[in-house]
Chain A
């Protein structure tokens, strides 16, 4: 018996050793092959001409070729797949836009596929890198630009802009600047949004506040919280998801940086700059407001809608969230049912008589009202799609960016009109006159200096956000000091940045 058992183990170990040998061998040959690849590409590179703007040191972007005429030669209808992470009303608006595009021409058939949240979409892209599973077009979060550069997985939109001699000057300038790295436009602004303040006018009236004068600063926000709680108009004043995104926008508004090297725009960022008086003040403000009972703060996790639900069921009077939710909020308050899986609640569950939701620009934390940060989702064309698919992707984007399409897009999705000419379209004018909520977000970006609206370039953006939220949660939810929270975020964030930069080589 002992012999039999030993024999079994021996054969198992032998089998394992064979597998080790096999994969060890294959890896060595992989390494050899890989060593030659990068040098080849940089030798035959098609680098962008060095323009006027500041360049990120150590980042080499291959613009590549975009065969915009490939559709003319393609015999069959080109199947174009687009991944996105839009939810609720925005998702419906996108699907309708795809239908209009498909009806408008017969060379391309566009299929849109929802991939959950922006994080999940990026995970799927990451997992599919180098495989045939990638779509030709993806609406990825605006924060993924550096990820696409470092993973070499996107064909810079610049290639198509150049090949088609497309004029981008009518597209939202802050966003164009946001997606431009080393003078190469990486993505077209597509699902553009920014944080706004949603507030329930009825609660404001009940609390004796002027419903036409929403808070414009965090100091006023605190006063409003106190008035609302004291009057019993709602249990809480403000409802918030503790999202790093909120901190990032407040920091940008105060004209400060999130990471070093000019927010990663002059060289690879290797230091997270949350150890500042501003961030300490923001977190302390949130902590105090939770302690005062003025703020209900919930953790950031995917599928987190509790902060919206708190306003919908009258528990809170205000919430700061993306402007892209306006259409969904309007659909809900009009009594239309919205897919509860992607909006968190159903119209049936809401007492609409209590709600009179208005929208205002996000209050600023400091006196400096620098600018909001460009945000939302950008349209990235994938590098390993076929030339026909890339041409199809570009064809759809050109269709989507026309003023008429952008007017419809804005009206239906509440994303910003990416083409500034869309604001002169009758549909937009009518909507803004009828419902100023839609205009509020756009106003934040009129006459803004693009330099100040563009966000940081960070490769491991999501991991940096996790680091920021770890610190913020420790302060706001666990009652630790702001300094402790900043230490947590700084340590984790710097490690994540260092790891990424090492891998980038």
Chain B
């Protein structure tokens, strides 16, 4: 919704580009003035740490607080990038992302679509399906831990102690955790679908399934894409669930990049820095690919 609005306002305002040069300059200055506060915050909490991290990849820190750092060039980069364990970690992260994003998107769409039907009591379900948003990662993970613990749990299943089911359990927790925000985003998109569009489809004889497939999904595709990108980024940054449920185990089966960085940070800060930059670069790249690939298929509406 928000994306399509932005796009439309850009189109509407196309005329402003042809105004005088002076007006344009002052407009740009105003824009920077308004951006300044967020730029400062970004600079202090994002850009500066990012640069420090990049810098750290070339140095080996000493052990005591004021110990001199030793410049070691690309050594840590080649170590990390050539490490087969790290390759496995990247693959595992992609797998977890896949197992999180797709089910969350499908379930979120399904729930939002169901709740969007004009029936009694839907507002209750709207609240119920949004609740994961208000649940902290720690609480959600503890709930799943209590459900799944093989010795004292409620289901008493052996999922967290075996490699493949453990990763799937983390994905399950992830899906549940992210379902709320996905649901809210998609529901907002659904509510912006013009009624006349649906009416027209009905008159053309389209059933509910056909309306969903051919009218609603294409119309809300910018929203779906937004949810897709957000979910991908969130799933790449999964941490709390893993720390509480499996701590990267069993046998590294749930050791994804973020958790790998976390466990490296004390014993091998250089490797942790390299991995952080790799994760950052990977996410930027992935987001660009998603926008590039999906922009063509996304219908922004005119």
A451 at the interface (CB under 8 A from B): no
Chain A: which residue is nearest B60 at the CB level?
Answer: A503
Report yes or no: A499 in contact with B68, Cβ–Cβ below 8 A: no
Chain A residues with Cβ below 8 Å from B252 are 470
Inside 8 A of B64's CB, which chain A residues have their CB? 129, 150-153
Does A306 sit within 8 A of B, measured CB to CB? yes
Hey, which chain B residues are within 8 Å of A24, CB to CB? 55
B181: shortest Cβ distance to chain A, in Å?
A: 28
B251 touches A478 (CB 8 A): yes
Q: Contact at B28–A4, with CB atoms within 8 Å?
A: yes
Interface majority SS (helix, strand, loop, mixed), chain B? loop
- B208 near A: Cβ within 8 Å? no
Inter-chain contact B246/A301, CB cutoff 8 Å: yes
Contact between chains at B267 and A306 (CB < 8 Å): no
Q: Tell me, in angstroms, the Cα distance from A88 to B43 when the chains sit together.
A: 44
Contact A299 B250 (CB under 8 A): yes
- Residues in chain B near residue A349, CB distance under 8 A: 152
> Which residues from chain A contact B66 at a C-beta distance below 8 Å?
33-34, 37, 130
Cβ of A205 under 8 Å from chain B: no
Interface size class of B (residues with CB under 8 A): 35 or more
Shortest CB distance B52–A (Å): 6
Residue of B nearest to A297 (CB): B161
Contacts of A165 in B (CB 8 A): none
B68 proximity list for chain A (CB < 8 A): 31, 34-35, 38
CA A299 to CA B149, docked complex, whole Å: 13
A19 touches B251 (CB 8 A): no
Asked if A219 CB lies within 8 Å of chain B CBs, one says: no
**Contact mask B236-257 → A, CB, 8 Å, 1/0?**
0000000000110111100000
Once bound together, how far apart are the Cα atoms of A65 and B30, in whole Å? Answer: 60
Main secondary structure on chain A at its contact with chain B? helix
Judge if B192 is at the interface, Cβ distance under 8 Å.
Answer: no
B17 proximal to A (CB < 8 A)? yes
Q: Do B152 and A23 touch (CB < 8 A)?
A: no
A-chain residues with CB within 8 Å of residue B268 when the two chains form the complex:
463, 496, 499
Q: Does B5 contact A (CB under 8 A)?
A: no
Contact A460 to B267, CB < 8 A, known contacts A150-B63, A151-B64, A301-B249: yes
Across the interface, name the chain A residue whose C-beta is closest to B61. A503
Determine which of B43, B63, B251 lies in contact with A503 in the assembled complex, contact meaning CB atoms within 8 Å.
Answer: B63
CB of A298 within 8 A of chain B?
yes
A349 to B152, CA, bound (A): 9
Taken together as a complex, chains A and B put the C-alpha atoms of A127 and B67 apart, in Å, by 15
Contact between A309 and B55, CB atoms less than 8 A apart: no
Over the window 4-40 of chain A, the binary record of Cβ atoms lying under 8 Å from chain B Cβ atoms (1 yes, 0 no) is 1001000100011001100110010011011101100
The residues of A that contact B191 with a CB separation of less than 8 Å are none
Contact A123 B266, CB 8 Å, known A19-B48, A306-B149, A349-B152:
yes
In the assembled complex, the Cα of A19 lies from the Cα of B67 at a distance in Å of: 23
A459 neighbours in B (Cβ, 8 Å): 63
Residue A368 CB within 8 A of the other chain:
no
- Which residues of chain A are near B43, meaning CB under 8 Å? 15, 19
Nearest CB of chain A from residue B256's CB, rounded to whole Å: 16
Q: Which A residues fall within an 8 A CB radius of B?
A: 1, 4, 7, 11, 15-16, 19-20, 23-24, 27, 30-31, 33-35, 37-38, 122-123, 126-127, 129-130, 150-153, 298-299, 301-302, 306, 309-310, 313, 315, 344-345, 349, 459-460, 462-463, 466, 470, 473-474, 477-478, 496, 499-500, 502-505
A-B CB contact pairs (8 Å), 24 listed: A4-B28, A15-B43, A23-B55, A30-B69, A31-B69, A34-B69, A122-B266, A130-B65, A130-B66, A299-B161, A299-B249, A302-B247, A306-B150, A306-B151, A309-B151, A310-B151, A313-B151, A462-B266, A473-B251, A477-B251, A500-B63, A503-B61, A503-B67, A504-B63
Told that A11-B32, A19-B51, A477-B251 touch, could you supply 10 new A-B pairs with CB distance under 8 A?
A20-B51, A34-B66, A123-B266, A150-B63, A152-B64, A306-B149, A463-B267, A466-B263, A470-B251, A496-B267
